[in-house]
A and B are shown apart, each in its own frame.
Chain A
Amino acid sequence: MSAPQTLYEKIWNAHVVEQRDDGTCLIFIDRHLVHEVTSPQAFEGLRVAGRRVRRPDLTLAVPDHNLPTTARLDANGNNIPIADPESAQQLEALERNAPEFGIAYIDATDVKQGIVHVVGPEQGFSLPGTTIVCGDSHTACHGGLGALAFGIGTSEVEHVLATQTLQLSRSKSMEVRVEGELAPGVSAKDVVLHITGVLGASGGTGHVIEYTGSVIRALSIEGRLTISNMAIEHGARAGLVAPDDVTYAYLKGRPMAPKGADWDTAVAYWRSLATDAGATYDKVVTINAADIAPSVTWGTSPEDVLPITGVVPDPSTFADPSKQAAAKKSLEYMGLTPGTPMTDISVENIFIGSCTNSRIEDLRAAAALLKDRKKADNVKWAIVVPGSGLVKQMAEAEGLDRIFIDAGFEWREPGCSACLGMNPDKVPAGERCASTSNRNFVGRQGPGARTHLVSPAMAAAAAVTGKLTDVRTLMD
C-alpha cells in the first residue's frame, strides 16, 4: 500500500511528465486562461521563434483587465470604441492573437465575458484535480474547486502555450484548518482576511495551502473561491479546497464540464483526490471561527488586518522593527492616526467587484444590506461591477440591479475595474475606498488612493453610513 498523500501530492503526482535528477519536474497543464495584459509578449515570442500553440483546445482567452465597465454597445448594437489608445491596442492584440493561434476567444460583448477567474469556474472550464495556470496571481482562486491553480509570468505563459507544460519544483504543503461556526455577519472574505492577518503577507511563501475544517466545508463554492483567491495574499503558491458534493453540484451541467458517463467517471476520480487519513503537511495552522469578526485592513499590505471593532494600531507597539517602519509609512500614506476607532473612518468611494467578490452570492449579500437604504451623502462614487455577463444577467433577473441603483450605486459591465485601476475606474488620490477587492497596496486603485479591504456586506454597510461600519449593527 502506498503512503498516505495530501490532495496537493495527488494532483502533483498525476501531472508529472518527467522528473529530472535535481528534482525539477515537467508538469502537464490541463487548463490555461489567457487575458490581454500578460499575453501579448508571449504570443510575440512564439511568432519570433516560429512556434505554435501545442494545445489550443486546453486554452481559453477572455479580456478583463483593461475593459472599460461602461456600456460596450451603442443604441444600434455597434461596438463603442475604447477611448484609451494603449488599452485598445492591447485588446486588439488579444483579438488578433487568439484566432491566429487557434484559441477560443470570448468577446467583450459576449454574455459569457467576465473576469478570467469568474469565467473559468462558471463555464466548467476549471475542474477539480486539474492544473490551471494564467498570467495572473489570483489564479489561485480556482483552487476553491480543488484544482491546483497558480499565477505565472509572461515567459511561463509562452512556455505553456508552446509546450502545455511547466518546469517546476514541488512546493511545501500547509494545512490551514478553520474549525467552528462563523458568527452572523462574518463571511468567507472575513475568513481569508483573518487568515492573512495571522499568517502575514509572506507566511505561505513556498507552500501550497489546503484549507480544511468545518468552516470551509460549510462554505458555498463562491465562498471557497473567495478564500482560495487570496491565498497569494499570504504568499502561497496556490490554495486548495478538497472537492466534495458541494463542488459537484456547482459544476454539474456547466457548459464545459464533463457530461453523461464521463461525469460519473470524473466524480469518482475527483472523490479519490481527498487527502488520505494519516497524510502529513509540512506546516499546520489552526484557526478558531469564533476568533473571526467582520474584518477590515488599515494599511498598505493585506496582512494589515483588524476586526472592525479595532482601532488604528500604533506602529511603536509592533515587535518587529522592520514592521514598525513599514506600519509608520503605511499610516502616513493612509492618512490615519493611531488609536482612531476603525468605525470613525469616513469613506468617499465604494467598490463592489473583483475576482475575489463579484459572484452572485457576493452581490446578493451586498444587496440584502442595501435594500430600502441609500448611500450616505459623503459617498461620492459607488459602483458594482459583476464578475461576468452571466452574473450580471442573473443579478438582474433577481432585481438586484434595482436595489443597487436605488441605493445610489452605478451598475456596470463586467471586468477587473477598480481592483487595479488599469481601466478608467480609479479612486482619486487622497480619497478612501471600502473595496471588496484583494489588495490595498500603495497606488493599487489609482495613484494616491487609500484602500480598505472588506467583504461585500461590509462595503454595502460603509456605503450606507459613509464610514467603515460593523455590518452587524445594520443587520435585522
Chain B
Amino acid sequence: MQPISSVKGKAYPLGLKNVDTDIIIPAAWLKTISRSGLGKGAFQSLRSVPGNVFDDPAYTGAPILIAGDNFGCGSSREHAAWAMADLGISAVIAPSFSDIFSGNAFKNGLLAIVLPQEAIDRLMEVAKTDEIHIDLETQTVTTPFQDRFPFEIDPFRKHCLINGVDEIGLTLKSSDAISAYENKLSASQPWLSPNQA
C-alpha cells in the first residue's frame, strides 16, 4: 500500500444516502480477475443520468467524494474501492460507512472520513466552488473559508495508512503466536481441523 497522509482538491458533491455497492460498481463488472480498469464501470447507473456530478466538467478529476449516510452499504466487493481508486478518488467523506466498505477502503489507501451531517452540508456547499483539504496527521478537514472539522480514525488504521504498511507482512511477524494458538486449539477442539471429504 502507498503511504497517504493528506488529500487536497475538488470534491464531487454527491450527497446521496445509502449509496450501495451495486451503485458504486454493478455486478456485471465483477467478472474481472484483475484489480484495475474498473473506473469505467464506477457509478454507472448515476452516470447514465444527464447532468450527474461525475461528468460535470467542474469536478473533473476530483480526488474527494462527499456522500450521505451509510455509504458503501451492501456487498463485500472490494471492487467498489478499486473502481473508485481507478476513477481517481482518494477519499470519501460521509456521516457513516458500512463496516465492510470502510475496511476495504482502508486496505486500498482510500480514506473513508466520517463527519457529522452538518459538516457534510457545509462541505457540499464549499465543493461547488472550492477545494477541500483532508489532513490525516492532524485528523482534520479544512476549507479555504476557515472551516475546520476534526474527525476520528482508528489509530491502527491511521498508522498503516501514513506508513503504507503491508498488513500481511505485519501479521506474518506474529507467526509464532499464531502457531501457539493453533496448537492450543487442536488440543482443545480437535474437531475444528476435519479430515475433509
B136 to nearest A CB, angstroms? 16
A442 interface contact, C-beta 8 A: yes
Query: A162 to B174, alpha carbons, bound, how many Å?
Result: 12
Question: How many A residues have CB within 8 A of the partner chain?
Answer: 85
B31 touches A38 (CB 8 A): no
Query: A26 to B194, alpha carbons, bound, how many Å?
Result: 23
Query: A44 to B32, alpha carbons, bound, how many Å?
Result: 13
A441 touches B22 (CB 8 A): yes
Contacting residues, chain A, for B163 (C-beta < 8 A): none
B171 touches A163 (CB 8 A): yes
| A51-82 interface bits toward B, Cβ cutoff 8 Å, 1 = contact, 0 = none | 10011011010000110000000000000000
Query: A427 to B74, alpha carbons, bound, how many Å?
Result: 19
Partner of A255, one of B33, B69, B197: B197
Contacting residues, chain B, for A17 (C-beta < 8 A): 174, 177-178, 181
Query: A54 to B172, alpha carbons, bound, how many Å?
Result: 10
B86 interface contact, C-beta 8 A: no
Given A17-B174, A130-B192, A441-B23: A155 touches B104 (CB 8 Å cut-off): yes
A205 touches B99 (CB 8 A): yes
A98 to nearest B CB, angstroms? 12
Residue of A nearest to B193 (CB): A57
A159 touches B100 (CB 8 A): no
A202 touches B96 (CB 8 A): yes
B63 interface contact, C-beta 8 A: no
B107 interface contact, C-beta 8 A: yes
| B154-168 interface bits toward A, Cβ cutoff 8 Å, 1 = contact, 0 = none | 111000000000011
A321 to nearest B CB, angstroms? 10
A226 to nearest B CB, angstroms? 18
A237 touches B192 (CB 8 A): no
Contacting residues, chain B, for A265 (C-beta < 8 A): 191
Given A17-B181, A104-B196, A130-B192: A156 touches B103 (CB 8 Å cut-off): yes
A318 to nearest B CB, angstroms? 12
Interface of chain A residues 390 through 428 with chain B (CB within 8 A)? 420-422
A159 touches B171 (CB 8 A): yes
Interface residues on B, range: 35 or more
| Binding-face segment, B13-21, B125-133, B142-150 | B13-21
Residue of B nearest to A49 (CB): B168
A213 interface contact, C-beta 8 A: no
Interface of chain B residues 40 through 59 with chain A (CB within 8 A)? 44-45
Query: A108 to B123, alpha carbons, bound, how many Å?
Result: 50
B70 touches A206 (CB 8 A): no
B31 touches A66 (CB 8 A): yes
Query: A66 to B31, alpha carbons, bound, how many Å?
Result: 8
A187 interface contact, C-beta 8 A: no
Query: A22 to B23, alpha carbons, bound, how many Å?
Result: 34
Given A93-B33, A159-B171, A269-B189: A18 touches B78 (CB 8 Å cut-off): no
Contacting residues, chain A, for B35 (C-beta < 8 A): 41
Contacting residues, chain A, for B185 (C-beta < 8 A): 28
A103 to nearest B CB, angstroms? 9
Residue of B nearest to A207 (CB): B99
| B176-191 interface bits toward A, Cβ cutoff 8 Å, 1 = contact, 0 = none | 0110011001000111
Partner of A137, one of B16, B76, B191: B76
Contacting residues, chain B, for A58 (C-beta < 8 A): 192-193
Contacting residues, chain A, for B177 (C-beta < 8 A): 17-18, 26
A24, A55, A155, A257, most chain B CB atoms within 10 A: A155
Partner of B18, one of A55, A156, A201, A206: A201
A30 touches B192 (CB 8 A): yes
B18 touches A301 (CB 8 A): yes
Partner of A86, one of B32, B76, B168, B178: B32
Partner of A163, one of B23, B168, B194: B168
A136 touches B27 (CB 8 A): no
Query: A227 to B98, alpha carbons, bound, how many Å?
Result: 19
Contacting residues, chain B, for A323 (C-beta < 8 A): 17
A37 interface contact, C-beta 8 A: yes
Given A441-B22, A442-B45: A422 touches B96 (CB 8 Å cut-off): no
B4 interface contact, C-beta 8 A: no
Query: A90 to B31, alpha carbons, bound, how many Å?
Result: 6
Contacting residues, chain B, for A66 (C-beta < 8 A): 31
Query: A154 to B81, alpha carbons, bound, how many Å?
Result: 11
Contacting residues, chain A, for B107 (C-beta < 8 A): 153, 155-156
Query: A259 to B177, alpha carbons, bound, how many Å?
Result: 29
Q: CB within 8 Å of B: which residues of A?
A: 17-18, 20, 22, 24, 26, 28, 30, 37-38, 40-41, 44, 49, 51, 54-55, 57-58, 60, 65-66, 84, 86-87, 89-90, 93, 104, 123, 125, 127, 130, 135-137, 139, 150-156, 158-159, 162-165, 167, 169, 171, 201-202, 205-206, 232, 235, 237, 255-259, 262-263, 265-266, 269, 301, 303, 322-323, 325-326, 420-422, 439, 441-444, 447
For this complex, 19 residue pairs linking A to B, each with C-beta atoms less than 8 Å apart, are A17-B174, A17-B178, A17-B181, A24-B154, A26-B171, A28-B185, A54-B178, A136-B75, A136-B76, A153-B100, A169-B156, A201-B70, A256-B194, A265-B191, A326-B18, A420-B22, A422-B31, A441-B74, A442-B23
Extra contacts besides A44-B34, A135-B76 (5): CB < 8 Å: A41-B35, A153-B76, A163-B171, A202-B18, A442-B22
List 10 tightest A-B contacts by C-beta distance, closest first.
A258-B191, A153-B78, A155-B107, A151-B76, A86-B31, A153-B104, A202-B70, A40-B33, A154-B78, A137-B76
